[in-house]
Structure 1
Amino acid sequence: MDMDSRTPRRALRARPPAAAFFDVEGTLLAAPELPEPPHEGPGPPLGRLWHAPVLAALHDHAARGHLVVLVTPSSAEAVAPLARELGADAVLCARPRSPMRGQGKGYAARALLREHALLAADCYAYADEAADLPLLAEVGHPVVVGGDPVLLRHARRGNWARLPGPVPREM
């Protein structure tokens, strides 16, 4: 599977009504980084690392026909097993000379919305740290996950949705 944001995993029957962007590390997974993928076979078991409220939101967006997009600073190889398991439509990840951090997340999200002719006001993003603010600022429905003080200030000012943060666990 090509993990480039311009190639959705499944062929879309029609233009999706919206996109939902999910920061992976610390938001969708209760871990600061993705586990290393094995050289062969399935990826590491992630059951206890899922952050249940965010995973439930991902499944809800998928059920509503939204484009489900994973956003990670990790490589395409590292996130591929996770994307397959979740049935993600697209992945925004690090590429040579194009890190997926900070403003890079916002630029990539904006490009994906433009490519799919989606209105930002109809879209969602879930993230857990101040560095993710550019991603959250690109959508009409930002969701702050956890207690980052910078994001909480923005959430209060903008009346953004909030979800509790994951309980830290060892990988």
Structure 2
Amino acid sequence: MKLALFDLDNTLLVGDSDFEWAQFLIEKRALDRELHEARNLEFYEQYKAGTLDIHEFLDFQLKPLSRHPRSQLETWRKEFIEIKIKPLVAPGAKKLIESHMLDGDLCIIITATNSFVTAPIARLFEIDNLIATNPEEENGEFTGKVLGKPSFREGKIDRLEEWLNQHNLTWLSFLQSWFYSDSLNDLPLLSKVTHPVAVDPDPTLKKHAETKGWPVISLR
């Protein structure tokens, strides 16, 4: 058995779904533009620089989920997928995923973005397995807090190993493993698999990949 892991934002997508969701809510006037737009941009720059405080960011990103009924959020999400996400699908993404599926590999999207936003995106790529940051719920509504460990940086390894354990698997279950990512934030997991692949990488990851001899590809 072989394992194929895919980062989502700026890897399978030509853009960041977390960032775009906040911008979408601003456009819907569900968030105040003056208060949230600059902060959203600031967090995005911190992410790209590798300096993001994930808990500070999640407090910013998940609180809006608690301010609106689940039914309203799902209506907005459906529109968000159609007008914001579908145009961002990287041209080579589905072909790459299909190549692993045809080989019978276990395919998983693993992302720091919350599962409410990313679950329908995973379905868009026809991948059944998703590891994402989980927003806490009570009685079917979001509390604005995170549930468990965020799947960010080293947390991606922890969350993946939890997932594997739940499915009676370990790293030793796989003869080979791939991880496709664009981000320096994913260096811990990239260093764990047998086949790390830098996809349209940021400058730090690109330099690291070239030093290590990792493949550098583009899906755009």
Normalising by structure 1, we get a TM-score of 0.74
**Equivalence map 1:45-124=2 (5 Å):** 45=82, 46-95=85-134, 96-113=147-164, 115-119=168-172, 122-124=176-178
Query: How far off is 1:76 after superposition?
Result: 1.7
Query: How far off is 1:63 after superposition?
Result: 1.7
Runs of 5+ consecutive residues of structure 2 not aligned to the other structure: 25-72, 135-146
| Residues 29 and 49, structure 1, Cα contact 8 Å, conserved in 2 | yes
Residues 101 and 28 of structure 1, relative CA distance in 2, 3 Å threshold: same
| Residues 91 and 219, structure 2, Cα contact 8 Å, conserved in 1 | no
Range 61-70 or range 29-38, more displaced: 29-38
| 3-state secondary structure, aligned to 1:99 | coil
Pick aligned residue for 2:3 from 7, 19, 27 = 19
Post-superposition CA distance 1:105-161 (Å, at most 9, x none): 122234445542444660100111110111211210111012423222331233211
| 3-state secondary structure, aligned to 1:94 | strand
Range 33-42 or range 139-148, more displaced: 33-42
| 3-state secondary structure, aligned to 1:126 | strand
Give the structure 2 partner of residue 169 of structure 1. none
RMSD: 2.5
| 3-state secondary structure, aligned to 1:47 | helix
Residues 159 and 111 of structure 1, relative CA distance in 2, 3 Å threshold: farther
Which amino acid letter does the alignment assign opposite residue 31 of structure 1?
G
Runs of 5+ consecutive residues of structure 1 not aligned to the other structure: 1-16, 167-171
In the alignment, the residues of structure 2 paired with residue 108 and residue 138 of structure 1 have an alpha-carbon distance, to the nearest angstrom, of 13
In terms of fraction of residues, the more helix-rich structure is 2
- Greater CA radius of gyration, 1 or 2? 2
| Residues 93 and 219, structure 2, Cα contact 8 Å, conserved in 1 | no
| Residues 112 and 150, structure 2, Cα contact 8 Å, conserved in 1 | yes
How many pairs does the alignment contain?
A: 150
Give the structure 2 partner of residue 133 of structure 1. 187
In the alignment, the residues of structure 1 paired with residue 194 and residue 86 of structure 2 have an alpha-carbon distance, to the nearest angstrom, of 30
- Percent identity, please: 26
